[in-house]
């Protein structure tokens, strides 16, 4: 059994740091968008990017907040005689500037990829020792986002200062272009980037690469999260629960303009159940990770779309307070799955406007009743029930109760706007292009708050039946909506 792990200073750290840096004015809330790598790897060309933008618009995901289209590795054809990066003209016959223009014209921002090494991970030309020249090239092409990897780094790693210096060179080079380019570091958590990257980058990968599994162990991802932050080999093929357990120890290090990045979302790639994908998406949002979809937009199901466009969950991620949820407790359970995995967790955190987030996460192998005590929910506000919040009455809002029905989501996928309208799509869909999440929350937009389902009274608990590998997620708001009191959901 794991003893409860409790973060006691996250709010104080977050607010003390906000004023010290941003690197730039970007990523005030975690970036949202789409990246091709998880689904397509090197099988990429300009038509894939344009097709993805069209479908993201059709499905309503651009206006839900997914604004970056990020091209990953394998776009390059090496360097010209003067050392300038060149695009592969077979894959990108229009040229990168034209691709960027087409993406911009659809209301998106355009991202590209390089590596802080001699080569990229797929062995194309990297940017080590070409930082200034490559930054100017990216800016000239109209790039708005750079994912910067860690392969073939010539041994320039092994302690935080060496890695900091290597990544700072590109940070300085991007800033010198005069163009606002979101800088997404991808050094897999090597040399503890959460300790130093806030002054260098807008986000940093904190673990090895994700793959489409809820909790399957893999020897290629040797650290489990039980090492706390002392992972010597990040590896790859890391499951969603593996990554979540790792980041739980330093979630307070992400702040506005500088975020922990748990890697791209696997929702829609087929390796997890619906409940597992809901858990994956909810927790990435709650701990303020970047939300970059990693699926094939041409194969997205209605159920998966209704996860990715849930406004009540996205609102957690885009909350202007910028404070991550905290893992309050974690216990092993006896009902393990075929991989020998089984645990339960409870998370909570503060949101803007005095609201709170609560999650009951069941990573056991069967459905179970779980509960969250008021003293645990408000632990950071006063130990052992001494907080004023634990004596108040709160309205409980279920963040998945208003999930878009499958027939509505399918109408969007089919491009049937008439049917979607007749099915009242606006009852489930929030347009963040028209109204920001910050303004929507300030105006108490019910799509962002979730569905009221009961109240939490002083010194009582939230109790819920949580499915196998599933989650129950709630927003708590001070009572006053006149709901009938009930403790059990």
CATH number at residue 395: 2.60.40.1180
pTM of this structure: 0.93
Sign of CA dihedral 337, 244, 467, 278: negative
CATH of the domain at 166: 3.20.20.70
Domain assignment present for 348: yes
Domain assignment present for 416: no
pLDDT at 17 (0 to 100): 41
- From the list 255, 376, 318, 256, the residue with the least C-alpha distance to 8 is 376
Q: How many CA atoms lie within 13 A of 381 on its CB side?
A: 18
Domain boundary among 318, 347, 376: 318
* Catalytic residue chosen out of the listed positions 63, 209, 376, 398: 209
Q: In this structure, are 62 and 165 located in the same domain? A: yes
For residue 329, count other CB atoms closer than 10 A to its CB.
17
- Give the span between the Cα atoms of 346 and 162, in whole angstroms: 37
* Catalytic residue chosen out of the listed positions 149, 212, 263, 376: 149
Q: In this structure, are 172 and 201 located in the same domain? A: yes
Domain boundary among 318, 349, 377: 318
* Active-site annotation holds for 209: yes
Q: In this structure, are 263 and 390 located in the same domain? A: no
For residue 478, count other CB atoms closer than 10 A to its CB.
14
Q: 449 exposed, middle or buried (CB, 10 Å; 0-12, 13-18, 19+)?
A: buried
Q: In this structure, are 308 and 352 located in the same domain? A: no
Q: In this structure, are 232 and 334 located in the same domain? A: no
Domain assignment present for 176: yes
Q: 210 exposed, middle or buried (CB, 10 Å; 0-12, 13-18, 19+)?
A: buried
- Give the span between the Cα atoms of 369 and 362, in whole angstroms: 9
Q: In this structure, are 304 and 340 located in the same domain? A: no
Q: In this structure, are 219 and 336 located in the same domain? A: no
Domain assignment present for 8: no
Domain count across the chain: 2
- From the list 411, 416, 453, the residue with the least C-alpha distance to 428 is 411
Q: In this structure, are 226 and 257 located in the same domain? A: yes
Domain assignment present for 483: no
| Full domain range(s) for residue 313 | 32-318
What are the CA-CA distances from residue 435 to residues 196, 397, 400, 438, 472 (Å)?
Answer: 34, 21, 21, 8, 27
Mean pLDDT, 10 residues at a time, the chain of 489 residues: 36 42 90 99 98 98 98 98 98 98 99 99 98 99 99 96 98 98 98 97 98 97 87 94 97 97 99 99 99 98 98 99 97 97 98 98 98 92 77 96 97 88 89 98 98 89 98 95 41
Domain assignment present for 437: no
Q: In this structure, are 330 and 312 located in the same domain? A: no
* Active-site annotation holds for 149: yes
Domain assignment present for 351: yes
Residues 6+ apart with CB under 8 A from 4: 328, 329, 330
Q: In this structure, are 185 and 272 located in the same domain? A: yes
Domain boundary among 318, 353, 388: 318
Q: In this structure, are 269 and 173 located in the same domain? A: yes
Domain assignment present for 21: no
Q: In this structure, are 309 and 331 located in the same domain? A: no
């Amino acid at each position: 059994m794991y003893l409860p792990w409790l973060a006691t200073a996250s709010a104080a750290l977050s607010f003390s740091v906000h004023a010290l840096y941003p690197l730039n004015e970007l990523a005030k809330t975690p970036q949202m968008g789409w990246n091709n790598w998880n689904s397509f790897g090197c099988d990429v060309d300009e038509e894939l990017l344009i097709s993805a933008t069209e479908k993201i618009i059709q499905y309503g995901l651009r206006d839900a907040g997914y604004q970056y289209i990020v091209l990953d590795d394998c776009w390059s054809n090496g360097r010209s005689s003067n050392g300038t990066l060149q695009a592969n003209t077979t894959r990108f016959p229009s040229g990168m500037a034209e691709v960027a223009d087409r993406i911009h014209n659809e209301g998106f921002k355009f991202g590209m990829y390089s590596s802080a090494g001699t080569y990229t991970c797929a062995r194309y030309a990297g940017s080590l020792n070409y930082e200034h020249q490559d930054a100017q090239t990216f800016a000239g092409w109209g790039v708005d986002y750079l994912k910067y990897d860690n392969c073939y780094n010539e041994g320039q790693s092994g302690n935080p200062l060496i890695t900091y210096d290597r990544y700072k060179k590109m940070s300085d080079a991007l800033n010198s272009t005069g163009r606002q380019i979101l800088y997404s570091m991808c050094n897999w958590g090597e040399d503890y980037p959460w300790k130093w990257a806030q002054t260098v980058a807008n986000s940093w990968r904190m673990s090895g690469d994700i793959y489409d599994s809820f909790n399957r162990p893999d020897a290629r991802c040797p650290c489990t999260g039980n090492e706390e932050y002392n992972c010597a080999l990040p590896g790859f093929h890391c499951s969603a629960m593996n990554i979540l357990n790792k980041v739980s120890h330093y979630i307070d290090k992400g702040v506005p303009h500088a975020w922990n990045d748990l890697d791209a979302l696997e929702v829609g790639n087929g390796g997890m159940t619906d409940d597992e994908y809901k858990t994956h998406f909810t927790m990435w949002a709650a701990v303020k990770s970047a939300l970059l979809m990693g699926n094939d937009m041409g194969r997205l199901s209605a159920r998966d779309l209704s996860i990715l466009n849930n406004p009540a969950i996205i609102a957690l991620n885009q909350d202007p307070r910028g404070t991550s949820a905290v893992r309050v407790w974690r216990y092993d359970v006896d009902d393990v799955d075929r991989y020998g995995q089984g645990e339960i967790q409870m998370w909570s955190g503060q949101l803007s406007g005095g609201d709170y987030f609560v999650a009951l996460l069941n990573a056991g192998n069967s459905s179970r009743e779980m509960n969250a005590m008021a003293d645990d929910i408000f632990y950071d506000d006063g130990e052992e029930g001494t907080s004023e919040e634990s004596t108040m009455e709160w309205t409980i809002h279920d963040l998945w109760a208003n999930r878009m029905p499958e027939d509505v989501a399918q109408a969007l996928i089919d491009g049937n706007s008439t049917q979607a309208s007749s099915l009242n799509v606006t009852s489930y869909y929030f347009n963040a292009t028209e109204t920001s999440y910050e303004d929507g929350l300030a105006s108490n937009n019910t799509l962002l708050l979730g569905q009221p389902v009961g109240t939490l009274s002083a010194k009582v608990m939230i109790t819920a039946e949580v499915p196998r590998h599933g989650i129950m997620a709630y927003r708590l708001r001070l009572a006053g909506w006149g709901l009938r009191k009930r403790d059990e959901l």
